[in-house]
Amino acid sequence: MDVITLTGNLLAEWTFDIEALQAGKTHRASAMSFQVGGKGFNVSRILMRLEHSSEAIGFAGGHMGELCSAWLSNRNEAHCFFPLEQGVRPGVVVRESDTDKDETTFLGKDLPVTPEAWQAACKYVAEAGPKWLAITGSIPGWQSDWLNSLKEMAAVNPRIRICVDTYGPALSDLTRLPLELVKINRTELAKLLPDSGGMPLVEVLKLLHQNSPVQNWIITDGPQMIVAKFSNGDIFEIIPATITEVSPTGSGDTFLAAMLDGWIRNMDREQMLTHAAACATANAASPNIGDFPIPVPGCYRPQVRLL
């Protein structure tokens, strides 16, 4: 297995198409669809499009868990769920057909992961032995001592590289481990380093390396400049291509998947960043997550500069 993605906050998501959303009114959908959402599931799907073996694991239970599993199986998406007594977090997206308004999204209450389920997931990864484990999204119920399960996993199978694209308490704790890669957006960076608001991003990267054993860092900021610092000391600035944005949803997940694709294919650092930024931009120029053309057209090529 090339990559196992771990999603801490799975989403069972329905999308309703209506004419116009009005408070206090009953609405009838003209169309509806269902999908399983979550950052790790997005990353896994894009990796499969990039011709890698990938499995998405998460936490789910009950009839909702069965619905999610059936939907994934029908799409031939490899997955594994660990018990979550409350079921699955629900979500509803409302699309209005007669206005230019953005989609309106309703997310259900976060469902905390249990210590037993977290330990079972880490044991599963250790036994599966993928090249990479990507820990993504928020992890409700996170406890600091859960780092021990990851340390045990690494002891069983030290060849597994771990990358993280998460936030909140989990991120603060996970950056105490010698992870291979952390991708963080500018918003979460401000929470991780509250005093970094006025600092140039290059200086923030140096500070992150000083305060954490993480090997490689990437800071993204939507369509704005990306910065990256690698374990060999190289620092890059990446300016994504300018496009007419259609839907930015999932572009960060696309970036991470393309970085892992480049790492597995032994691209050099500049090639990886160019590839990842181009894929993320192509995703933002398309209406649905991961449905951009592969190989990515050259018009999405970013500017990459080694500092």
* Whether residue 295 has a cis bond before it, omega within 30° of 0: yes
Ramachandran class of 6: left when φ > 0, alpha when ψ lies in -120 to 50, beta otherwise: beta
Find the helix packing angle between 251-264 and 39-49, rounded to 10°.
50
Q: What is the DSSP string of 135-197?
A: EES--TT--GGGHHHHHHHHHH-TT-EEEEE--THHHHHHTTS--SEEEEEHHHHHHHSGGGT
The per-residue pLDDT for range 108-123, each reduced to its tens digit, is: 999 999 999 999 999 9
Which range among 88-97, 137-146, 226-235 shows the weakest confidence by mean pLDDT? Answer: 88-97
Please tell me what DSSP assigns to residue 221.
B
pTM of the model: 0.92
**CA 80 → CA 159, 170, 254, 304, distances in Å?**
22, 21, 21, 38
Residue 98 has pLDDT above 70, yes or no: no
Is the per-residue pLDDT at 99 higher than 60? Answer: no
Query: Hunting for tokens 């018990």 — which residue is that?
Result: 83
- pLDDT value at residue 100: 59
Q: Is 222 exposed, middle or buried (0-12, 13-18, 19+ CB in 10 A)?
A: middle
Hey, is 76 helix, strand or coil? coil
Q: Per-residue pLDDT averaged across 201-213, rounded? A: 87
Higher pLDDT, 197 or 148: 148
CB atoms within 10 A of CB 142: 20
Helices within the chain (DSSP H only): 39-49, 62-74, 115-128, 147-156, 169-174, 186-192, 201-211, 251-264, 269-284
pLDDT category at 97 given cuts 50, 70, 90 is: confident
- Are 79 and 45 within 8 A, CB to CB? no
Q: How far apart are CA 94 and CA 125, in angstroms?
A: 36
Cα first-last separation, the chain: 35
Least Cα distance to 238 among 300, 147, 170, 172 occurs for 300
Tokens 């950052």 label which residue? 39
CA 29 to chain centre: 30
* Cα–Cα distance list, 270 to 183, 234, 239 (Å): 16, 10, 13
Quote the mean pLDDT of the chain. Answer: 92
Contacts of 3 (CB under 8 A, 6+ apart): 43, 44, 47, 52, 53, 54, 55, 130, 131, 132, 133, 134, 260, 264
**pLDDT tens digits for 48-92?**
999 999 999 999 999 999 999 999 999 999 999 999 989 999 999
Q: pLDDT tens for residues 239-286?
A: 999 998 888 888 999 999 999 999 999 999 999 999 999 999 999 998
Please determine, for residue 205, whether its predicted confidence score (pLDDT) is greater than 90: no
CB contact at 8 A, 105 and 92: yes
pLDDT for 160 equals 96
Phi then psi for 31, rounded to 5 degrees? Answer: -160, 155
How far apart, in Å, are the Cα atoms of 153 and each of 5, 119, 150, 169, 213? Answer: 15, 9, 5, 20, 18
